[in-house]
Chain A
Amino acid sequence: MSQELNKVPDTPEEMADALRRASEQNLSVLIRGAGTKIDWGRPPQRIDTILSTRGLRRILAHQHGDLTATIEAGASLREVNLALALHKQWLPLDPSFAADATIGGILATNDSGPLRHRHGTPRDLVIGTQVATADGLLAKSGGQVVKNVAGYDLSKLLAGSFGSLAAIVSATFKLSPLPATSKTLIVTARDAPGLARLVRDVMASHLEPIAFEAEVPASSLLLRFASARPAVEAQADAAQQLLGAGRLVAGDEERELWQQHNERIWSGEGAVVRSSWLPSDIATVAEDLESLSAMGGIRHVELVGRAAIGTGLIRIDGDPTSQSRAIDRLRRSASMGNVVLLRGSSDLKALVDVWGSHGDREPVFASLKRAFDPKGILNAGRGPL
């Protein structure tokens, strides 16, 4: 084990300096926010320096009249949203571990949750960034305005880079007004085909929920409506009529429901993979997951995901060898794609290609990595490139 040196730069210039020096000395650097997803990705190779973003945690600007905010990478989403709420606004993201996750980490992982149904992922909301490159350049792209097509949008390229291209110093986001009120409808279908029918009916309707979640194998759907009160009431009633049943929850009960929903995949010790499917294939997805749970060595499989987008997290409980076989089977299934292992034991990660194949994108990723980080000092091989 190497002697890891922790550095907590307080200014963008210090961040850039630390990287430039590491680059000169060929030191391997891991960029870290709150560390909520530090175990995602491949097991790290040698790490010489851990560069924390936690010295950079200010909200640099909240232009509430323009619905934008510029935030340093180390600020936590929770703190940021508390501050934005003073002007009845928010950054509408609900990634995994939202209580602690930082802005930089959320953008670097492009992680999102149920709110993605309405608001998209961090890449959809980011409008500008400042980064420090491995060789110590401080560079910005995008800007402070929502509508802007000047130059390359490198902010988007950082989304999903897992800190392997550059260190995010700060980012500017488009914000939304906080909805006045909300209500959630919970509906449970009898079986997978029933679930698929409900998903289809909601997608073909005029309902505009801000979140539309599926839970498998429970065959439950959660539809959250948030807006002005009369609009929420009307939408919730219309949804109940369309789906013919369900229970409406509001207030504290609703908050608790969503907290549980967001945490349920991370409960227990199982492997967690991210996977995508076509929304109309949800019944096949459910059947495929059922057959996984019937595999020897697998105790339980469950999915929580965005029903109308076709993406979600799957937890696979079992021993590493069986988990690895299950992931293999997911990758070969006709209904699933883009299967990435996020959380898993080191035994499992030794058995599985964590990121999967990049196909014909591999050479592009390789040349981008060389362009940003020619010495390959960033991210200790954890990320997708």
Chain B
Amino acid sequence: MDRAFLDELRRIVGDEGVLNEPLDLLTYECDALPHLRASPAAVVLPDSAAQIQAIVKLCAREGVPFVPRGHGTGLSGGALPVPGGVVIALSRLNRVLHVDIPNQRVTVEPGVTNLEITRQVSPFGYYYAPDPSSQQVCSIGGNVAENSGGAHCLKYGFTVHHVLGVEAILPGGEVVHIGGTLVDTPGPDLLGLLVGSEGTLAVVTKITVRILRRPETVQTLLAAFDTIDAGGAAVSDIIGAGIIPAAVEMMDALAIRAAEAAVHPNFPAADTILIVELDGPAAEVTALFDTVVDTCRRHGATTIEVAQSDEQRARIWRGRKAAFAAMGRVSPNYYVQDGVVPRTRLPEVLNRIRQLEQRSGLRIGNVFHAGDGNLHPLICYDERVPGEPEKAVEVAAEILSYCIDAGGSLTGEHGIGADKSAYMPTMFSADDLALMQRVRAAFDPRGLCNPGKVFPTPRLCGEVPGPHRAHPLETAGVAERW
């Protein structure tokens, strides 16, 4: 990268705000999908929207690609740098700008963590609903880019349902205000487009979210079943009875064993466990919870445990949330997949996965959001065994094809990023993608803003979606995967 460009970056953010030494750049080579790596020419650490605007304007003038980055917890390579480009790290924009309890709105900078919003408002009895498992460390800016969900999105929706407005810098360097503290900005819903666009349309510099009143009551149940079909049938009947639980999670035997080995949640040794959580007004939860318990019994639940305290509930969730990282206890390596099927097709798709498991010889653990059909198969392998890593990649890709066959999606919450862009044509036609490209070009005609993400480009030789490797944050015990 030419010196004059670096000097200009330094003029904008100060000397300490520009990193270009190879060692300093290492941290930014990847996000939480460490097998996709690239070294940027420089990382800039602005601490204001004005600085971001100046950086983007400079990049636009010089034709230098730039990649916005939150806290690097993404699981699809959405923050993968472009060689020769700039990474705009938003970690210094971490101020909470306005907390408005009476109107249930909070305005923050993009580097504020998801959980920090809840921390700010919980003394008043409020919380921010989307709860990705990385919520302790992931940034709200990253949540906006990825349209993050979490365990409770079955009832409460995704980031897109909770963001009221953003201030953003367009790829040409112009500031734009979309939505705000008031609802119903006239015209097409730009906010709905921007949330989930994976940082390819703009760099968000300010975000207003709505917060929710903490529900009056929460009830959590853990039920064990002899077969995954029995558990699945119970879920169908719960939802068929007109109940929308706050969360419905399932784990299979391998995932249960792994979680038990890692965090000892005292899960029953079963083929399948189901976690159902209801929240809301006390009378409603009480009335509906009985139906949930009866339904589980009717479908042959071998044990039913109802959390009697916050600690008991926390223990159940700890077991569920640790399931990914816990795979390390039962397998030297594993690959986390994220796919979606219509909920009613779960049994059929899980059967196909079981057949694939037998055929491939690789063990596959299943942890999933059963309420919305979001699967997270965990494919176990040993990288020391020749051919196994490649086989794991093939198995993961095959599972995605089952999701598409069943009318589902390539990703429910991790995003397409750089990781799955090559699969986009399996879900979308050339015309579908062409229209999305037109939108992309309307914002960023020169393709400078986070290029190489979402849209399929011919992959480089040997660049394939790869296996899971522990992120440094996970190894350090700071973050867990969902």
B386 proximal to A (CB < 8 A)? no
Chain A residues whose CB sits within 8 angstroms of the CB of B183 once the complex forms = 276, 309-311, 338
B186 proximal to A (CB < 8 A)? yes
A-B contacts counted at CB < 8 A amount to 262
Q: Mark B430-471, 1 if CB is under 8 A from A, else 0.
A: 011111101111110000000000100000000000000000
A357–B372 alpha-carbon span in the complex (Å): 40
B287 engages A230 (CB within 8 Å): yes
Q: Mark B262-285, 1 if CB is under 8 A from A, else 0.
A: 000000000000000000111110
Q: How far is the CB of B122 from chain A (nearest CB, A)?
A: 15
A158–B415 alpha-carbon span in the complex (Å): 22
Q: Mark A169-210, 1 if CB is under 8 A from B, else 0.
A: 000000011111000000000000000000010011111100
Closest to A120 in B: B161
Chain B residues whose CB sits within 8 angstroms of the CB of A367 once the complex forms = 442-443
B186 engages A338 (CB within 8 Å): yes
A265–B172 alpha-carbon span in the complex (Å): 43
**Stretch with Cβ within 8 A of B (4 or more), from A52-60, A159-167, A216-224:** A159-167
Chain A count of residues within 8 A CB distance of the other chain = 87
B416 engages A279 (CB within 8 Å): no
A residues 364-385 with Cβ under 8 Å of B? 364-365, 367-368, 370-372, 384-385
A264–B284 alpha-carbon span in the complex (Å): 32
B193 proximal to A (CB < 8 A)? yes
B242 engages A178 (CB within 8 Å): yes
B372 engages A145 (CB within 8 Å): yes
A340–B186 alpha-carbon span in the complex (Å): 7
Which among A147, A157, A276 is the interface contact of B193 at CB below 8 angstroms?
A: A157
A277–B102 alpha-carbon span in the complex (Å): 13
A227 proximal to B (CB < 8 A)? yes
Q: A66-B344, A365-B188 known; A151 and B103 CB under 8 Å?
A: no
**Stretch with Cβ within 8 A of A (4 or more), from B29-37, B107-115, B145-153, B323-331:** B145-153
**Stretch with Cβ within 8 A of B (4 or more), from A18-26, A29-37, A94-102, A131-139:** A131-139
Closest to A164 in B: B188
Chain B count of residues within 8 A CB distance of the other chain = 90
Closest to A369 in B: B442
Q: Mark B178-194, 1 if CB is under 8 A from A, else 0.
A: 10111111111111110
With a 10 A CB-CB cut-off, give which of A131, A233, A274, A310 has the most chain B CB atoms: A310
Which among B178, B184, B195, B344 is the interface contact of A65 at CB below 8 angstroms?
A: B344
A278 engages B181 (CB within 8 Å): yes
B348 proximal to A (CB < 8 A)? no
Q: A157-B192, A157-B193, A178-B242 known; A228 and B435 CB under 8 Å?
A: no
Chain B residues whose CB sits within 8 angstroms of the CB of A149 once the complex forms = 146-147, 158, 196, 409, 411-416
With a 10 A CB-CB cut-off, give which of A68, A200, A231 has the most chain B CB atoms: A231
Chain A residues whose CB sits within 8 angstroms of the CB of B442 once the complex forms = 364, 367-368, 370-371
A323 proximal to B (CB < 8 A)? no
Closest to B412 in A: A147
B436 engages A161 (CB within 8 Å): no
A333 proximal to B (CB < 8 A)? no
A residues 276-321 with Cβ under 8 Å of B? 276-280, 308-311
With a 10 A CB-CB cut-off, give which of B146, B160, B190, B432 has the most chain A CB atoms: B432
With a 10 A CB-CB cut-off, give which of B174, B184, B191, B438 has the most chain A CB atoms: B184
Chain B residues whose CB sits within 8 angstroms of the CB of A233 once the complex forms = 283
A150 engages B427 (CB within 8 Å): yes
Q: How far is the CB of A365 from chain B (nearest CB, A)?
A: 6
B residues 186-214 with Cβ under 8 Å of A? 186-193, 195-197, 213
B residues 330-384 with Cβ under 8 Å of A? 340-344, 369, 372-374
Closest to A140 in B: B432
Chain A residues whose CB sits within 8 angstroms of the CB of B239 once the complex forms = 65, 67, 177
Closest to A274 in B: B184
B103 engages A310 (CB within 8 Å): yes
B411 engages A150 (CB within 8 Å): yes
B14 proximal to A (CB < 8 A)? no
A150 engages B409 (CB within 8 Å): yes
A145 engages B157 (CB within 8 Å): no
A238–B428 alpha-carbon span in the complex (Å): 50
Q: How far is the CB of A304 from chain B (nearest CB, A)?
A: 15
A152 engages B439 (CB within 8 Å): yes
Chain B residues whose CB sits within 8 angstroms of the CB of A158 once the complex forms = 188-189
Q: A154-B435, A177-B243, A310-B183 known; A203 and B287 CB under 8 Å?
A: no
With a 10 A CB-CB cut-off, give which of B153, B343, B413 has the most chain A CB atoms: B343
Chain B residues whose CB sits within 8 angstroms of the CB of A141 once the complex forms = 428, 432, 435-436
A144 proximal to B (CB < 8 A)? yes
Which among A146, A159, A206 is the interface contact of B372 at CB below 8 angstroms?
A: A146
A356 engages B149 (CB within 8 Å): no
B8 proximal to A (CB < 8 A)? no
B94 proximal to A (CB < 8 A)? no
A155–B438 alpha-carbon span in the complex (Å): 15
A65 engages B435 (CB within 8 Å): no
Which among B185, B407, B424 is the interface contact of A151 at CB below 8 angstroms?
A: B424
Q: How far is the CB of A42 from chain B (nearest CB, A)?
A: 12
Q: A208-B281, A234-B281 known; A124 and B344 CB under 8 Å?
A: no
Chain A residues whose CB sits within 8 angstroms of the CB of B286 once the complex forms = 230
A206 engages B281 (CB within 8 Å): yes
Q: A208-B281, A231-B284 known; A147 and B369 CB under 8 Å?
A: yes
A207–B240 alpha-carbon span in the complex (Å): 25
Which among B100, B175, B182 is the interface contact of A276 at CB below 8 angstroms?
A: B182
A228 engages B281 (CB within 8 Å): no
Which among B187, B236, B287, B429 is the interface contact of A385 at CB below 8 angstroms?
A: B187
A148 proximal to B (CB < 8 A)? yes
Q: How far is the CB of A113 from chain B (nearest CB, A)?
A: 13
Chain A residues whose CB sits within 8 angstroms of the CB of B435 once the complex forms = 131, 133, 137, 139, 141, 154, 372
Q: How far is the CB of A87 from chain B (nearest CB, A)?
A: 9
B439 engages A157 (CB within 8 Å): yes
Chain A residues whose CB sits within 8 angstroms of the CB of B415 once the complex forms = 149
Closest to A148 in B: B409
Which among A139, A161, A278 is the interface contact of B431 at CB below 8 angstroms?
A: A139
B174 engages A363 (CB within 8 Å): yes
A65 engages B280 (CB within 8 Å): no
A110 engages B153 (CB within 8 Å): no
B294 proximal to A (CB < 8 A)? no
A143 proximal to B (CB < 8 A)? yes
B428 engages A151 (CB within 8 Å): yes
Closest to B420 in A: A150
A364 engages B443 (CB within 8 Å): yes
Q: How far is the CB of A259 from chain B (nearest CB, A)?
A: 24
With a 10 A CB-CB cut-off, give which of A147, A176, A234 has the most chain B CB atoms: A147
A123 proximal to B (CB < 8 A)? yes
With a 10 A CB-CB cut-off, give which of A120, A157, A277 has the most chain B CB atoms: A157
B244 proximal to A (CB < 8 A)? yes
A252 proximal to B (CB < 8 A)? no
B443 engages A361 (CB within 8 Å): no
Q: A65-B343, A68-B342 known; A361 and B190 CB under 8 Å?
A: yes
Which 4 A/B pairs are nearest by Cβ-Cβ distance?
A156-B192, A177-B242, A234-B283, A231-B284
A159-B189, A176-B244 known; 12 new pairs, CB 8 Å cut-off, are: A137-B431, A139-B435, A147-B374, A149-B196, A151-B416, A152-B197, A158-B189, A160-B189, A235-B284, A337-B180, A355-B186, A361-B176
Sample 5 A-B pairs with CB under 8 A, ordered by A number. Answer: A65-B239, A120-B161, A154-B436, A157-B188, A360-B175
